[in-house]
């Protein structure tokens, strides 16, 4: 199958309507600068779906005023090639004007609690922007499945709520975080790190490993788990470190299969996120 490059919403709707009724469609929403983490989302879809659509769109509404929207890495030729090699049916790479038609348009608000703590507290309005674009992408591609990385845990949980609260028929499929051999979670922003900063950044997975080890040894108290992680995180600009449930409420004791340890830290100017699904 030859990979199509589609740049307008109209063409994507026509493409979706042209697919046979028994097609199974998977959507992998991305902001481009594709790496092996994205590749693994695509591979999950390729195993399940007859047609994989990858969207490549650096969504302006999820960036704050002082964030890296203008310098966010963009390389559509490289992204297209990776998609082609991975058997993707469509790369949807629209312009901002294509996705946002009017200045004064209907907007979505993320849930008050889930959307405005952790990432949502530091990046106010971030999840409103994420939800607005994800809803549009789901409507345009009408996928059976949409694939989201567990690395962006808060995003994944909020998108699940979007689908649940608006009765969308798409199933959201969580995919495990991909790591480089040194343990750093893959992220498009890792390219901003110098060698020295990358070394500093490795304190983040080391902190999470401490938590995982202590849990394995029977520890359940979150205050103790957090103190253990802090031993690894010395001298790092940690923005938050917490253990919460799937509604993103802080908890005092972990519960298997319903808790997450979340970390965000700044290394130089680069914000890095990582987490441990417990």
Residue 31 binds to ligand PAF (criterion: CB under 6 A): yes
Q: Is 38 a catalytic residue?
A: yes
Q: How far is the CB of 152 from ligand PAF (least distance, A)?
A: 5
CA distance 117 to 126: 11
Among 178, 195, 191, 193, residue whose Cα is nearest residue 75 = 191
On whether 31 is known to bind a ligand per the annotation, the reply is: yes
What x-and-dash track marks residues 138-177 binding ligand PAF by CB under 6 A?
Answer: --------------x--x----------------------
Pick from 53, 110, 134, 208: which binds ligand PAF (CB under 6 A)?
Answer: 134
| Candidate segments 26-34, 103-111, 229-237, 263-271, binder of ligand PAF by CB under 6 A | 26-34
Residue 254 binds to ligand PAF (criterion: CB under 6 A): no
Residue 205 binds to ligand PAF (criterion: CB under 6 A): no
Q: How far is the CB of 57 from ligand PAF (least distance, A)?
A: 6
The dihedral of CA 158, 163, 164, 170: what is its sign? negative
Sequence length of the chain is 278
Q: How far is the CB of 248 from ligand PAF (least distance, A)?
A: 17
Distances (CA, A) of 82 to 34, 38, 148, 257: 8, 10, 18, 33
Whichever of 189 and 198 has its CB closer to ligand PAF, that residue is: 189
What are the φ and ψ backbone dihedral angles of 275, each rounded to 5 degrees? -165, 170
Residue 53 binds to ligand PAF (criterion: CB under 6 A): no
On whether 36 is known to bind a ligand per the annotation, the reply is: yes
| DSSP per position, 27-83 | EEEE-S---HHHHHHHHHHHHH-SEEEEEE---GGGS-TTSSTTTS---HHHHHHHH
Vertex 165: Cα angle to 129 and 262 (nearest 5):
60
Whichever of 35 and 198 has its CB closer to ligand PAF, that residue is: 35
| Chain position carrying tokens 């038609």 | 101
**Which positions make up the binding site for ATP?**
31-38, 149-152, 186-189
**Which positions make up the binding site?**
31-38, 62, 149-152, 155, 186-189
| Binding footprint of ligand PAF on the chain (CB under 6 A) | 29-31, 59, 62, 130, 133-134, 152, 155
């Amino acid at each position: 199958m030859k990979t199509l490059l589609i740049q307008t919403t109209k063409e994507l709707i026509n493409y979706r309507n042209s697919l046979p009724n028994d097609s199974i469609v998977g959507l992998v929403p991305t902001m481009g600068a594709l790496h092996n983490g994205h590749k693994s989302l695509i591979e999950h879809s390729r195993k399940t779906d007859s047609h994989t659509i990858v969207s490549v769109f650096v969504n302006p509404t999820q960036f704050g005023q002082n964030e890296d929207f203008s310098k966010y890495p963009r390389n559509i030729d490289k992204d297209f090639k990776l998609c082609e090699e991975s058997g993707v049916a469509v790369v949807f790479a629209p312009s901002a004007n294509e996705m946002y038609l009017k200045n004064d348009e209907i907007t979505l608000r993320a849930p008050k609690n889930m959307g405005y703590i952790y990432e949502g507290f530091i990046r106010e309005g971030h999840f409103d922007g994420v939800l607005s674009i994800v809803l549009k992408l789901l409507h345009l591609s009408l996928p059976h499945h949409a694939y989201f990385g567990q690395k962006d845990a808060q995003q994944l949980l909020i998108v699940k709520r979007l689908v649940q609260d608006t009765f969308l028929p798409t199933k959201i499929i969580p995919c495990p975080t991909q790591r480089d051999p040194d343990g750093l979670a893959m992220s498009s922003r890792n390219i901003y790190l110098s060698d020295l900063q990358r070394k500093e950044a490795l304190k983040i997975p080391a902190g999470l490993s401490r938590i995982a080890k202590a849990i394995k040894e029977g520890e359940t108290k979150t205050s103790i788990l957090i103190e253990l992680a802090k031993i690894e995180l010395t001298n790092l600009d940690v923005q938050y470190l917490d253990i919460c449930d799937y509604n993103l409420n802080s908890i005092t004791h972990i519960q298997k299969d319903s808790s997450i340890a979340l970390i965000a830290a700044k290394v130089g100017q680069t914000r890095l996120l990582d987490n441990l699904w417990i």
